[in-house]
Homo-oligomer: A and B are copies of this chain.
Amino acid sequence: MTEFDLIEALRARVNLRRDDVALGIGDDAAVLDVPPGTQLVACTDTMVEGVHFLEGTDAADLGWKSLAVNLSDLAAMGAEPAWALLALTLPEADSKFVEGFGQGFAELAARHRVALVGGDTTQGPLSVTVTALGTVLRGTALTRGGARIGDAVFVTGTLGDGAGALHLIRDSGPGTRDPDKQAALRSQSTLFQRMHRPEPRVAVGLALRGIASACIDVSDGLLADLGHVCTASGVAAELDLDAVPVSAELRAQFDGAACLEFAMTGGDDYELCFTAPAERESAIAAALAQAGCHATRIGRIVAGAGVRVLDANGGRIDTPNVGWEHFSR
């Protein structure tokens, strides 16, 4: 199977049409119509086997997730996704893998009306690089740099499920590269759905334009990502540990300390962490309800630098050193 055939197989799978694609796959480059009055928003993200996903990961899950992590970045900008380019490197031309990959990719692409407009399939160690392109009305992009002292800090959904799922897989001992074993584990817990098929918060990002002062997606872990917002905004944040939202599924599988560790540092969540003036809380709740989502207020922006974690009494927790054992609910 040649490179051209692989691209054709993907094109057949990922066949969403958009009027703004003047020229799609099949030429040297795609030609795209960016709507007047908008700005282009662009990001790229690579997933490497053995680093970002386990050997034996289902091809359809990989197709989904490779697009999801990029749409999550667009969501964090408040952008509307439009187009994607896919660079897929495979050890061998494997039409079954390509079909599965294309199916997962196409499923998420259809949900967000993303057209695949370009690609490159190459031979080599398994990895996927997706470039996602979207648009925002001029000047409305959400950035990391807009948090102001006095703003409240929010996060959507719950945190830590993806990290919990990874822990369960690793804990299950040797043989985790076996697709059957991965499938069996998956059937046991919804945590695996969160790990393999994260839902990028695109509608939330769109709803937050004009409301949020800063926004980031939680991919590295809440502490790290909120830290990026603080650095970019020149402020500090106080985080109320008790307020950090954790799912019932995660609590059912792990003790409180582990739940907190996953939620605070696990990453792979693809929720949005954002800041907004505290008085906008009810407007936020209404906007997010429209987007089918809930956000939790977890802290506030203060003067200084870095992220401080506070216990239920407002006492400061020295996060990197003590772990979460003493603070688990």
Binding site for B on A (CB under 8 A): 22-23, 26-34, 36, 39-52, 73-74, 76-77, 79, 83, 85-87, 89, 117-120, 122-125, 127, 129, 131-134, 136, 138, 141, 143-145, 215-217, 232
Contact = CB atoms under 8 A, between A and B. Distances in A.
Kindly report how many copies of this chain are found in the complex they form together: 2
Given A23-B141, A89-B127, A124-B127, A30 B51 contact: no
Contact of A51 (B28, B124, B141): B124
A28 B119 contact: no
A138 B45 CA distance: 29
A86 B129 CA distance: 10
Closest 6 CB pairs of A and B: A48-B124, A29-B43, A28-B76, A129-B129, A125-B125, A131-B131
A28 B131 CA distance: 12
Contact of A136 (B31, B74, B217): B31
Central interface residue in A45, A83, A124, by most chain B CB within 10 Å: A124
Interface of A is mostly: strand
A30 B144 CA distance: 12
Given A26-B232, A30-B42, A46-B120, 15 more contacts: A27-B77, A28-B73, A29-B73, A29-B79, A31-B41, A33-B40, A34-B34, A40-B40, A44-B85, A46-B124, A48-B124, A51-B123, A87-B129, A125-B127, A129-B129
Nearest to A132: B29
19 contacts: A22-B141, A23-B141, A27-B145, A28-B77, A29-B73, A29-B77, A29-B134, A32-B39, A33-B138, A42-B118, A42-B131, A44-B86, A44-B120, A44-B129, A45-B87, A49-B124, A51-B122, A51-B124, A125-B125
B48 A28 contact: no
Contacts of A89: 46, 48, 127
B117 A42 contact: yes
A192 to B, nearest CB: 23
Contacts of A23: 141, 143
Nearest to A119: B44
A119 B131 CA distance: 10
A84 to B, nearest CB: 10
